[in-house]
Amino acid sequence: MTFSQRHFLGIEGLSRDELLFVLNTAESFREISEREVKKVPTLRGKTIINLFYESSTRTRSSFEIAAKRLSADAINISASTSSVNKGETLMDTARNLCAMRPAALVLRHPASGAPHLLARLNQCPVINAGDGTHEHPTQALLDVMTIREHLGDIYGKTVAIVGDILHSRVARSNILALTTLGAQVRLIGPPTLLPPEFSRWGVERHTDLRAGLAGVDAIMMLRLQRERQTRNFFPSLDEYARRFCLTVEALKEAKPNVIILHPGPMNRGVEIDSRVADGPYSVILEQVTNGVAVRMAVLYLLTTQERLATQDQSVAHGQAVGQEGSDVQAEPSAWDEHTVPKRAVGQ
């Protein structure tokens, strides 16, 4: 299989096979970050531009590190230091950046749909690094990758997503990814932050933390996105914390081997107690590690399509081997001379 998307704008619209293909490719990349020399020549000569219109620590550095580990040149532009300050529109900024022939443009923007607009320019692949309250597809992939690493097959697992679902692009992308891969998703939060329309994805809604956590395999905590909240969705922070902060006591409702995820940044004492965030069930820093592998995979798949098309032809000409037994495999080890074993998938 090849990944035929030109842009990476969201989880919406990706098939189960496409998701598994990107996840498997990411898993094959993970090992590069464990080497002493964490660099392969795969994207040598290519330029990746990170265009960030919102604050970011993890996502931005993760894309930058991913590009550099693939030997691409990574350029970071943030709105506060760019010509946006001088009144330039997003489209004009993008046209100018594309005129310098980058291999991909990574965009984070406060407006939902901004990367889709850039994709319509169709000058280079666009990767969504978080658009408004809409999607954050690479975050969902790294979350799913971390859950798979700990719990194996996603199919049949129950995952609780807790907190400010209404404003969370992380929740939306995760709901799509997890349900596509066959997980049961429970959304937990105050009724004002639980959009009823999300029920169309077949998720459960809970307004009681402990009831919602009963028997779950994984818990994904979300930050209150106060910068996006246009009115008071709950009486006070204190009240919210009393009902929805993940404490050691609340955790007892979940399965004994439960894992705790958080996309960061965390507000300790608001949505998550420090004893949980730093405790034995937390996989929060593993998520960050996996984020680099996921972004390496996405950059690789989007910027090497010509080569992939050529490989496709060689498959058609009977020159490829070892594909039997699985319909979804990680891209073979084209990124360096080390052979990455081809794995059968079945997740």
| Residues found near ligand NCD in the complex (CB under 6 A) | 58-59, 130, 136, 139, 169-170, 223, 225, 263-264
Neighbours of 317 (CB within 10 A): 8
Whole-angstrom Cα distance, residue 259 to residue 40? Answer: 32
CB of 58 to ligand NCD, least distance (A): 4
Q: Which helix (H) or strand (E) holds 238?
A: helix 237-244
Smallest separation, CB 264 to ligand NCD (Å): 5
Least distance in angstroms from the C-beta of 262 to ligand NCD: 9
Q: Is 59 a catalytic residue?
A: yes
Find all residues with CB under 8 Å of 310, minimum gap 6, and list them. none
Task: Give the CA distances from residue 175 to residues 19, 89, 280, 307, in Å, rounded to whole numbers and listed in that order.
Answer: 13, 32, 25, 32
Look at residues 308, 312, 313 and name the one whose alpha carbon lies nearest to residue 335.
308
CA distance 67 to 98: 17
* Inter-CA distances, 83 with 77, 92, 93, 97, 192, Å: 10, 10, 8, 12, 38
Name the strands in the sheet holding 218-221, side by side, starting at the edge strand that comes first in the sequence.
Answer: 204-206, 184-188, 158-162, 218-221, 259-261
Q: Which CB sits closer to ligand NCD, 8 or 335?
A: 8
CA distance 343 to 328: 9
* 30-22-27 Cα angle (round to 5): 20
Give the active site residue among 108, 186, 262, 295.
108
Neighbouring residues of 72: CB distance < 8 A, sequence distance ≥ 6: 43, 44, 46, 47, 48, 103, 299, 303
40 or 178: whose CB is closer to ligand NCD?
A: 178
Pseudo-torsion of CA 308, 39, 287, 46, nearest 10°? -50
Minimum CB separation from ligand NCD for residue 335, in Å? Answer: 25
SS3 50: strand
By beta-carbon proximity to ligand NCD, the closer residue of 233 and 333 is 233
Nearer to ligand NCD, 32 or 261 (CB): 261
Asked if 86 is an active-site residue, the reply is: yes
The neighbour count for residue 17, using CB atoms within 10 Å, is: 14
Does residue 136 carry a catalytic annotation? yes
Active site residue: 69, 109, 134, 136, which one?
136
Please, which residue, 58 or 255, has the CB nearer to ligand NCD?
58
Give least dist CB 128 to ligand NCD, A: 11
**In 3-state terms, what secondary structure has residue 57?**
coil
- Minimum distance, C-beta of residue 327 to ligand NCD, in the bound complex (Å): 31
Residue number closest to ligand NCD, CB atom: 223
Active-site pick, 81, 86, 317, 339: 86
CB of 259 to ligand NCD, least distance (A): 17
Task: Point out the catalytic residue in the list 2, 16, 30, 58.
Answer: 58
The answer to whether residue 108 is catalytic is yes
Of the pair 18, 143, the CB lying nearest ligand NCD is at 143
- Nearer Cβ to ligand NCD, position 2 or 225? 225
Enzyme catalytic residues? 58-59, 86, 108, 136
